[in-house]
């Protein structure tokens, strides 16, 4: 299955929003589930570092993700990556 940048940019903002919400609600299970869903999407568009960090959070044994600086930093990286993809595409249209 291939993933176009347009498809990625359509799908990932909702998942990022859900991840932010899971952090606000301290829902560790949802954080792990969302990382599991997002990891392959980021890998398919070449964001290997973000994909790896999602995998690290997914397999971490701490179980206290909601207050984790790692999750906040990951969200910031995700948003930055998406912005770097989105704005050049918008300019091209």
Alpha carbon 46 to its chain centroid, in Å, reads 13
Range of the domain at 43: 5-92
Domains contained in the chain, number? 1
For residue range 31-85, list pLDDT tens digits in order. 889 999 999 999 988 899 999 999 888 776 566 665 678 888 899 999 899 888 8
Question: For 5-40, b where at least 16 C-beta lie within 10 A, e where not — what string?
Answer: eeebeeebeeebebbbebbeeebbebbbebbeebbe
* CA–CA gap between residue 3 and residue 62 (Å, rounded): 32
Structure pTM? 0.79
For residue range 9-29, list pLDDT tens digits in order. 888 999 999 999 988 888 888
Q: 36 by DSSP, 3-state: which?
A: helix
């Amino acid at each position: 299955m291939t993933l176009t940048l347009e498809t990625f940019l359509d799908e990932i903002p909702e998942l990022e929003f859900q991840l932010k919400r899971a952090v606000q609600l301290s829902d560790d299970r949802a954080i792990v589930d969302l990382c599991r869903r997002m990891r392959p999407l980021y890998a398919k568009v070449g964001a290997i570092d973000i994909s790896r960090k999602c995998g690290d959070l997914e397999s971490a044994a701490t179980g206290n993700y909601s207050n984790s600086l790692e999750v906040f930093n990951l969200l910031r990286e995700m948003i930055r990556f998406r912005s770097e993809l989105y704005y050049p595409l918008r300019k091209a249209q």
